[in-house]
Structure formats: C-alpha cells, structure tokens
Structure 1
C-alpha cells in the first residue's frame, strides 16, 4: 500500500486513550539503544474514538500493544528542538534524550553555562535533566514546624528524593545518535524560500530534506520518524519516499507531531500543553507508533489533551493554527487604523468584542504587528499551498494578512516621522525593545529590524536601542548581519546599542516602544511576572497529590521557594532552594562566552543568572533627560496615556486616543 493511500483511508480526528506501564532502565542507567517492535515489551491499551464514539473501521485495533520508548534523538538544537527535548527528558528520567546539531558552537553552548537561547524556566529544566541532581529531603507540608518554607525535614513531614543521573545530552555526532534512537524527532529550520520557484511564499525544505536523508541512512529498522518542524501539507510523502529510496526493504513509521510553542512561554506551553497533536497513517502500525509517542507525553500531559489525526491533517493544522492567530492580529490592527481616523479607542472595541464567547479576548492587542519566525512563514506557506492547488481567491485572502501586518508597521513609522515635523535630521530616536516579543531573546523577523532600516533612511543623528532581555554584544552582531555592517555607530552609522535604558534616552527626541516588556509599562498596578513559569509557581504546591513527588511537583516547589526569598537569603538558597542541583558545567579557560561577558560587562543568562523581569522604568527620570517636546510612540499599547501626559509627554499610541 502506498503512503498516500494508507494515510487518507480515514479523514476523521481520533483520540487515543491509553494506560501505560512505564519501562524504566535499571539503576545503572544503561539505555537500550534499539528495540524492535514487540507486543510484549509494553502494556499499553489503546482505545480509538472519534467524537466520543468508537470507530468501526477495521483499520483501528482497539487492543494494540506499543513498544517502549527508551532512546529519543532530536535533530536540531534550536528554539524548538532544545526546549522540547529538555522538557521530554526532564519529565521522563527513564528515557535517554539526545539533541544533535552540526553547529559545534551551538552544541558547546548547550553543554555550558551559556545556553544559546533564553526561555523563562528553561534553566531550571536543564539543571536537572542535563546535569543530574543530588539526593535531597523535601518537606511535604505547606509550612514547616519552624515556620519556614523548607526546613530540610527537621520536625515535620518530609520525603527523600533520590539522586538523578543526567538523561539529556547535546552532541554533534549526528549519525551515531540517530542509529541508536527508537524515536527520531526532526526539528530543523524551515524558512521561506528567498529564491527560485515559489520565492517569497514557499517553504525552503533544503535543511529538512538533508536531515531526512541522513535519518534514512542511519535510523535503525523500526524506528519512528517524527516531523517536529513546521512543514507543508503532504510532507510525510516526501519523508516516506526518502526512507524507501535509501532503505527499500526496511519499515519505518512516519508521524507528524507539530509544536505549538510561543517564544517567551515555550516552557510553560510544554509543561501545561493545551493539546498534543499526533498524526499517523491509518494502519495498525501507524496507531502503534502514535501510541508509543503518546506514551512519552503521557508522563505529564493529561490523556484527554493528546489528540490524533491522519498525518496530513496534523501537518495542515499547524499552518492553520498560526495563520488564524496571525489573522486575528492583522484584523485588530486594521480596526486600529479606523479607530485613529474616527476617534474610537481600539482597547474599548477589543474589550467589547472579546466579551463575546464566540470571539474571545486573546490576540486582540493592537500594535505594530506580529514578528517571529512562525506567523509570517506559515501564512505564506498556506498562500503557496492554495496557489499550487489553483485556489487563487484563498491565496489572496491569506496574503492580505501579511499585507496588513506590513501596513501596520509602516503606518507606525510614518506616524513617528510626521509628528517629528517630517524629518529626523539631527534628532535622536530611542527604541525600547529589540526582540520580537517580551520574555524572549528571539529576534527572528523582529519588527524592530525593519523599523531600524526605515528610520535610518531618514538620516537621524542616532537610533538608540535598548532591550532588557537581549545581550548588547549579540544585538550588535545581528544588526551587522541582518541590517547592514554600516548601520552601527562603531562602523560609521547611526545605530547604537545600550545596556541601560536611561542612557539610551539621554538627549532623545522620541521613544518608540516596539516590544511589550512589562518593564516599559508606567502603571503602578500589577506584579511583573515571568510569563514562562508554571501557574503553580506563586502557590505552594504542597501537600503533593502523589506520595512520591513528580518532577513537575519538585519544579513547582523549586519555583515557589525562589519567590519566597528575602534580601537576607543566601545566594545558594536562591538558586537552589531544594539543595538538589549539581554544579554547573565548568567552562574552559578560553570560553568565548566568558570572554564576551568580561569584555562587555554583561553576565548573559548563564550561572543561574537568567533574565528575570526587573523593576518598571521611572518615566519621570526619562522625561528629565529627553529633549522637548518629549515624544513617546507606544507601538504595543503598554502605557497609560493619561498618566504619561500628566508627566509632560506627548503620546501617540496605535488605535488609542490621547487628550492632545
């Protein structure tokens, strides 16, 4: 049976309900690298249902047993592969998880105190899964007998948490790790093509195809190959064809398991996933493979949130999910333009329509549009799919989402230039925000990059940039690579990167808010929180639900105790309140990240000093150091306009009305 015919036999979504008996290696932590499918290896019962009813199709086995997963290889150590593999390893101590990448610098950083990406909560996950942990005693009462939050088991109920060996590894040995894996996750970059057929809308599959070929050559017989990257619909046919060409007599199952992670909340999205989507072929072997992957997630995700579909539906669902979210942002930004022209307030409009349960309130924040590596790329992929299917009206509809996003950004910059008397000559403009959204250092497709290019064309004296999460030296390197080598002041251009917000505003004519960091808000109400932390972090999770606390329980307690610290708390207790963590990996004497920190005076996010939201800026201090008439352009709707005007600022905000 061909891949296409086996996949499309059923078009209906199905949900797998399963009962899993975990298979844990012995205490020696010796993982079995390759196990063939064997019905006796695991006791997992699958009940396949559609819309609450059992399927009568003979394609579905209702008592299928699935093989245990003991070794996972994730190909790609980027913003998807790194966090996903880390959480899987953290929640499954019995599974060996290896992340492979040919980029030696990236792998070196994952193995050091300087991980290449920042996500709230990621550091806590790495410290346990990558570095292992020591035995510790955890108090199981919400308040210890001595009145403290963690007394170490003296005089109150407690439990001993066993030491844990590392089970998360990062390496460049791609072929070896693939050959040992029961499951291979492909999580490589799939950007938009910049040249050739479909340039500007089609997905560039070069990296994905190259990795698929390597997987086909080295994967062990019976391995499960998983599309984790966002790929065009029907990519599974490409994967299966590549596998057949390289290994014609070897069987592999191909699954689609797209990620639904948002930068800045990726760890939260993984720990408290609202759904795990797994697409498979509609065959007994396909269902066994889907159940095997589902059993990995079932260690922490409720079974009701693990959804299965046919493989093409899963591939398309990822593109549609991001496209629908992008559509909402473009829609509210189009309304913001109408609000500016009529005197309506876009926040009031959004609040009114968001109260409708059919619409909801999420993704209705008007501003300068979306950025990041996903939304634009996935909408354009949907456009290209519609064009290839000869659906021009559908393609034009989705292309309009991108056009509105670009219009929103250009309209904002034009507004800045207009308010500054149509010239930036001899003037200084300050950008607050370089990352594409708050609580991340991800700058891919950041609106700030396009804004810098456009402002530079107006010949300003200086474009100052400050971001509370991005490291200045890395920002300068990116500007040289993606904006131009002649844009930085050090190279004769107008752009200067600052590590201090007040220095960036010294002598500035205007401040533009381009990222919605909480630090930039001027409202005194509300606590600055870390978006990526689990919801339970502000509440003591004790008493635990289980007799033996899970890794999720321990993480919640770790984070809760960190929030309970006082100025007198020793640094060691702040970083490791459970006294459980092993020492950080030791950097070599010639570690380039350490050298960079010494040269720039920045600490990066290693050594336990990951970025945390800091105190809100003092806008009165900023006002004092700016030039009159002190313009502020709020591109993210984070400011209380009335309060800013009372301080003496002139404020322009997208779709929001000021008294001036």
Structure 2
C-alpha cells in the first residue's frame, strides 16, 4: 500500500507508543514507525506482552500493528525515510551539575537532535513531544539547521496531555490538542501539517494553535496547576483531621462552585507519576534562572506539601499503632502511582514503603499490575520486603493494611474474611479514601483515613 506520508516517532515509551497507535488507527493513509534504542522494548511492542499497561492499548496495537504501525530498532533508516519526526525521549530531572534536582536533563534530547541531523537527507518537520523547558525549540533549531547539507528543519511543539490509566481515551477524545510553531511562513506551514494529522478525528475547535514558546510553557504550567490543586486539598485534609471536619464533604462543597469545579480535589497520600514533580521543579528552575525567586518559591511549595503529606501518612501510622511498627507485618494495597497503570515512578508508595522499612516493619506489597516495577524500586530491601499478587494472602498475619492505590479491586474485597486473618487490633489506613470507613469500623477495624476523624475502638 502507498501511504500519503511517513511519520516517525523516536521513543517507544508511555507517550510515543500509545500516541502513534492512535494516529495509526485514525489515519490508515499514514505510515507510522516507532523506533527506540532499547531493542527489548521494541521486541515487546511487537509481541503479545506490551511493555506498558494501559486500558485499551492492546486492542489498538493489535488493530494497527504491521498494517500501518511498525515498531523497529532501525533508527537511522526511520529518520531517513520519514517526513515528520515526533521526538518522545526521556527528559528526567538532572542529577548532576548546574540545576541538579530541578532542571531537565536534556542530554538524550540533544543526542536525538544530532542523530536526526546525521541521518537526514531531506528537509523535515521535527515535533517536540517530550516535556521540555520553554525555549528548547530554539536550541534544537540551531543544532539542526546549522548544517552543510542544504536541508531545513522546522521545529514544532506538540506537548502531550495524557493521564496514565486514561491515555487511550485522552488521545481519542482530547480536551485540546496544542500545536505551536514559529510565527513565520515556514513555521505556520509546518504547524498546519501537524494540525491536519489530528484533524482526522479531533474537532477543529479543540485544536489550539500558538507560538512555540507558549506551547512549550503551557505543558509545564498545566501540570503545575493540576498538582497545585492536589497539594491544596491535601493541606486542608490535615486541618480537617484537627477540627473533625470531613475532607470529602469540604471538597464536594467547594467543588460545586463553578469557578472551582470538582476535578483534582480528591485528598490522598499524595501525587506521583513521571510528570508532576519533574515538571514543577523544572518550572521552579526556569523561574530561578530569570530571577523570579518569589514565583519559584511559590511553585516549589507545591512539591514540599506533597512530600509533607507522604511523611504525615507514615507518622499517622506510627502514632496510631502504639508508636512502633518494628517487627509488624504491614500490607500495602497498591504500589502504582495511580489505578489502571503499572507505572510506579514517583509513587507515594515508594516513600511509604521506605519509611516503614526504616522503622523495621515487615512490608508485603500487593498490586494487580505494578509488582514488577515495585521489585525494582525496592531492590535494596529485597530481604526485608515480600510481594504477593493476592491481596488476601498479603493481609494474612498483618497488623495493618495501607491502601495506597485507588484500584477498584480493593473496594470489593471481603474485609470480614480479611479481618479474621489479621493480628488484632487490626488497622486500615486508607490513603485514597475509597473504602466504606463506617462499615469497616463496625466490622472491628480501626480505620484512619485522610482528612477525617479516626474511627478507633480504643
């Protein structure tokens, strides 16, 4: 089959793979190729056991793979044969040198830019899909266009706004698609080409065009605002526990205000994932670099509140369990940073597990999708932590259960059966406020939730 155009994506991770699968499904007239330096990851994408879990992704890949969607380790060939290149490589927080702990580490991104230049024989549109600091496009343009090949590259920003666990739905029915470019005739022409891809299924009114700088900054700011709401409601959850107000009632009341709205007002043990903390700290570093110290401190406090909430959860466990968990079996229900994903990056469960292990607790972890990643995250404690797929077995002999991921599975468990196998008095610490606390208390549990008065039998 002859395709209208060939689109390459460099990076076969949480963003690149699903995004290209959706474009392939909606645009059978385009050829989509996904490449990655990790050959094992490419093999997984070509197998029945995909490297990431996302509801609906298996079906989407099966529908398009080897028809107009291809996964390949041949990066140079992919670059050479494509007209449009999406760059979706990792941009972690820098761990060394200037900006360590805050700035984005752009070494993989720059290596990719130089690889694109080295392998290209024709002009191309390069699309920033990775989350990058504002004005990164300018640096990429300089690397790509200072060449002696007589070829030209237009750099377009098209940040992703996916939420893990709902990524396929977010791709098919996005709130908006943002495409930014230089406001030059060549830049606008390139921007329109990217807009035309999404216009195959996204209503035009939901496709937002902007300058490249506004597009780059919008991604960081969007994540900062979402995380800010979580930290805001979590800060109030601490006040609720002191005043015997109920955080769910407070969140519901303020969420009914149309100016505020109900989303991202669910109090919890804290936010996680690969984006929120990384993007906020990147924003903090950018503000600092422009001398905007008060702005930087404001946004940094969002991360500080999140870390405080995680620490507070451990302190609540210790205080309620007679000030010691040493030698006690604690079952952690959930390790993924959120439900419907196996991703554990920056998961609050990592911090909670570390804190309990430092207190010499015997920690057992159960999660329907994240045990593999949990084992990697806690590899230094492998002799002191165990992993159990079955939550009933995880809770056997436990002094306490801590719910750390909002999997629907945990709402429907037989907690009377579980109680009979636990050490008494038995505790449940609901870090996601998903269980029926009064019902559990009536069964005989001591229940400590986020932002609510504790329900205890002593």
Normalising by structure 2, report the TM-score. Answer: 0.98
RMSD: 1.2
Equivalent residue, structure 2, for 1:137: none
Q: Deviations over 1:223-272 (max 9, x none)?
A: 11000000000001111000023456322111000000011111010011
Does 1:500 find its partner at 2:393? no
Which of 182, 188, 194 is 1:293 aligned to? Answer: 194
Higher helix share: 2
Counting only pairs closer than 5 Å after superposition, residues 395-410 of structure 1 correspond to structure 2 as 395-410=296-311
Distance in 2, matches of 1:185 and 1:308, equals: 17
Distance in 2, matches of 1:249 and 1:93, equals: 32
Contact kept, 8 Å, 1:202 with 1:380, in 2: the verdict is yes
Distance in 1, matches of 2:316 and 2:90, equals: 35
Does 1:309 find its partner at 2:105? no
Distance in 1, matches of 2:29 and 2:205, equals: 23
Contact kept, 8 Å, 1:642 with 1:658, in 2: the verdict is no
Contact kept, 8 Å, 1:511 with 1:633, in 2: the verdict is yes
Equivalent residue, structure 2, for 1:16: none
Contact kept, 8 Å, 1:222 with 1:252, in 2: the verdict is yes
Counting only pairs closer than 5 Å after superposition, residues 608-627 of structure 1 correspond to structure 2 as 616-627=412-423
Does 1:457 find its partner at 2:358? yes
Which of 161, 166, 178 is 1:265 aligned to? Answer: 166
Distance in 1, matches of 2:121 and 2:268, equals: 49
Equivalent residue, structure 1, for 2:367: 467
Q: In structure 2, the residue corresponding to 1:367 is in which secondary structure?
A: coil
Deviation at 1:659, TM superposition (A): 4.2
Deviation at 1:221, TM superposition (A): 2.6
Q: Deviations over 1:292-334 (max 9, x none)?
A: 1111111111111001000000000000000000000000000
Residue ranges of structure 2 left out of the alignment (5+ in a row): none
Equivalent residue, structure 2, for 1:518: 408
Q: Deviations over 1:117-150 (max 9, x none)?
A: 000000110011105xxxxxxxxxxxxxxxxxxx
Rg larger in structure: 1
Distance in 2, matches of 1:520 and 1:499, equals: 13
Distance in 2, matches of 1:402 and 1:473, equals: 27
Equivalent residue, structure 2, for 1:173: 74
Equivalent residue, structure 2, for 1:3: none
Which of 443, 446, 456 is 1:647 aligned to? Answer: 443
Does 1:632 find its partner at 2:428? yes
Equivalent residue, structure 2, for 1:185: 86
Q: Higher relative contact order at CA 8 Å, sep ≥6: structure 1 or structure 2?
A: 1
Q: In structure 2, the residue corresponding to 1:170 is in which secondary structure?
A: strand
Which of 95, 99, 124 is 1:194 aligned to? Answer: 95
Equivalent residue, structure 2, for 1:163: none
Q: In structure 1, the residue corresponding to 2:209 is in which secondary structure?
A: strand
Q: Deviations over 1:468-516 (max 9, x none)?
A: 222x455324421xxx2xx11xxxx220000111100000000001111
Equivalent residue, structure 2, for 1:423: 324
Equivalent residue, structure 2, for 1:433: 334
Distance in 2, matches of 1:655 and 1:324, equals: 22
Which of 99, 107, 112 is 2:42 aligned to? Answer: 107
Q: Deviations over 1:2-43 (max 9, x none)?
A: xxxxxxxxxxxxxxxxxxxxxxxxxxx134xxxxxxxxxxxx
Contact kept, 8 Å, 1:217 with 1:246, in 2: the verdict is no
Equivalent residue, structure 2, for 1:128: 63
Q: In structure 2, the residue corresponding to 1:73 is in which secondary structure?
A: strand
Does 1:276 find its partner at 2:72? no
Distance in 2, matches of 1:175 and 1:247, equals: 19
Distance in 2, matches of 1:246 and 1:429, equals: 60
Distance in 2, matches of 1:385 and 1:227, equals: 18
Contact kept, 8 Å, 2:343 with 2:373, in 1: the verdict is no
Corresponding pairs, count: 456
Normalising by structure 1, report the TM-score. Answer: 0.68
Distance in 1, matches of 2:300 and 2:156, equals: 29
Distance in 2, matches of 1:358 and 1:474, equals: 39
Q: In structure 1, the residue corresponding to 2:401 is in which secondary structure?
A: strand
Contact kept, 8 Å, 2:366 with 2:391, in 1: the verdict is yes
Equivalent residue, structure 2, for 1:30: 2
Contact kept, 8 Å, 1:466 with 1:497, in 2: the verdict is yes
Residue ranges of structure 1 left out of the alignment (5+ in a row): 1-28, 32-68, 132-165, 522-615
Distance in 1, matches of 2:367 and 2:236, equals: 29
Q: In structure 1, the residue corresponding to 2:378 is in which secondary structure?
A: helix
Contact kept, 8 Å, 1:74 with 1:187, in 2: the verdict is yes
Equivalent residue, structure 1, for 2:375: 476
Contact kept, 8 Å, 2:273 with 2:337, in 1: the verdict is yes
Contact kept, 8 Å, 2:402 with 2:430, in 1: the verdict is yes
Deviation at 1:111, TM superposition (A): 0.5
Contact kept, 8 Å, 1:641 with 1:658, in 2: the verdict is no
Which of 59, 66, 85 is 2:20 aligned to? Answer: 85
Equivalent residue, structure 2, for 1:116: 51
Contact kept, 8 Å, 1:217 with 1:247, in 2: the verdict is no
Which of 229, 232, 236 is 1:335 aligned to? Answer: 236
Q: Deviations over 1:411-432 (max 9, x none)?
A: 0011101111111122100000
Which of 94, 97, 100 is 2:29 aligned to? Answer: 94
Deviation at 1:220, TM superposition (A): 4.1
Equivalent residue, structure 1, for 2:261: 360
Equivalent residue, structure 2, for 1:233: 134
Distance in 1, matches of 2:313 and 2:230, equals: 15
Does 1:203 find its partner at 2:104? yes
